A and B are shown apart, each in its own frame.
Chain A
Amino acid sequence: GQQVMQIPQYQHVQEGEDFTTYCNSSTTLSNIQWYKQRPGGHPVFLIQLVKSGEVKKQKRLTFQFGEAKKNSSLHITATQTTDVGTYFCADFTGTASKLTFGTGTRLQVTL
């Protein structure tokens, strides 16, 4: 079956440093959705990317969808302690109405 891997598994940064997580799929992605899960919390929807090569920004967060639709990335500029959590990408297949989640990247930010 489809495998969606994220690297790195874990990253620890100092506040103010940048952070990037990469999402790679064994098969072509339909649409990519990104979620953030705070420690002890539940996933919270961040954004959806649909088109090949699409780039979207939300304040300090930049999301990209690969040209071949087999990878995606999330870049955070100048991290803050509020960015702490696990970031998941998920392949969203509308016809199947399901999310296939990536393995997640846990981000720790310290002062």
Chain B
Amino acid sequence: KAGVTQTPRYLIKTRGQQVTLSCSPISGHRSVSWYQQTPGQGLQFLFEYFSETQRNKGNFPGRFSGRQFSNSRSEMNVSTLELGDSALYLCASSYGTGGYGYTFGSGTRLTVV
């Protein structure tokens, strides 16, 4: 079966712009989570959605937001980009609450210049 699909794979944006990243989970997975990975901070939890509801949010500023659609696809948005937002953004889907492990997508590499 198809894995978790993230688009685009690479993105270059200018400071102050906004960006939207997309994630299509594995068919049947209703939970979608987002993580930010940087060399300095490692892997950090952004937020998690289940059946279109945000169930948890990490410690990130309000510039980071997301949503989930009725088909479980998810988007995350970052407004007013800063240089420090340059990172690999990973989407992960799971069946239920994640107790069987998460399947990660290949990520979107965002570079802010």
Co-assembled chains A and B: yes
Chain B residues near A102: list those with CB within 8 A: 42
- Among the listed A42, A94, A98, A103, which residue makes an inter-chain contact with B90, where contact means beta carbons less than 8 Å apart? A42
Q: Determine whether the beta carbon of A98 is less than 8 Å from that of B33.
A: yes
Instruction: Name the residue on A nearest B45 (C-beta).
Output: A98
Q: Are A104 and B42 also in contact (CB < 8 A) when A92-B99, A94-B97, A98-B48 are?
A: yes
Interface size on B, residues (CB 8 A): 26
- Among the listed A41, A48, A96, which residue makes an inter-chain contact with B56, where contact means beta carbons less than 8 Å apart? A96
Report the bound CA distance from A94 to B96 in whole Å.
Answer: 10
Q: Determine whether the beta carbon of A100 is less than 8 Å from that of B42.
A: no
Report the bound CA distance from A84 to B35 in whole Å.
Answer: 23
Q: Determine whether the beta carbon of B45 is less than 8 Å from that of A99.
A: yes
Chain B residues near A88: list those with CB within 8 A: 43
Report the bound CA distance from A41 to B4 in whole Å.
Answer: 13
A64 within 8 A of B: no
Report the bound CA distance from A8 to B56 in whole Å.
Answer: 31
Q: How far is the CB of B46 from chain A (nearest CB, A)?
A: 9
Most chain A beta carbons < 10 A, residue from B48, B59, B90, B101: B101
Q: Are A48 and B45 also in contact (CB < 8 A) when A96-B56, A97-B56 are?
A: no
B54-67 interface code vs A (CB 8 A; 1 in, 0 out): 01101100000000
Chain B residues near A47: list those with CB within 8 A: 101
- Among the listed B31, B45, B48, B103, which residue makes an inter-chain contact with A45, where contact means beta carbons less than 8 Å apart? B103
Instruction: Name the residue on A nearest B105 (C-beta).
Output: A42
Can you give 15 A-B contacts (C-beta < 8 A)? A33-B102, A41-B106, A42-B104, A42-B107, A43-B92, A47-B101, A48-B100, A88-B43, A92-B99, A96-B56, A97-B48, A99-B98, A99-B102, A101-B42, A104-B42
Q: Determine whether the beta carbon of A103 is less than 8 Å from that of B45.
A: no
Q: Are A100 and B45 also in contact (CB < 8 A) when A48-B99, A92-B99 are?
A: yes
Report the bound CA distance from A101 to B37 in whole Å.
Answer: 10
Instruction: Name the residue on A nearest B88 (C-beta).
Output: A42
A80 within 8 A of B: no
New contact pairs (5) apart from A102-B42, A103-B42, CB-CB < 8 Å: A42-B105, A43-B104, A92-B99, A94-B99, A99-B45
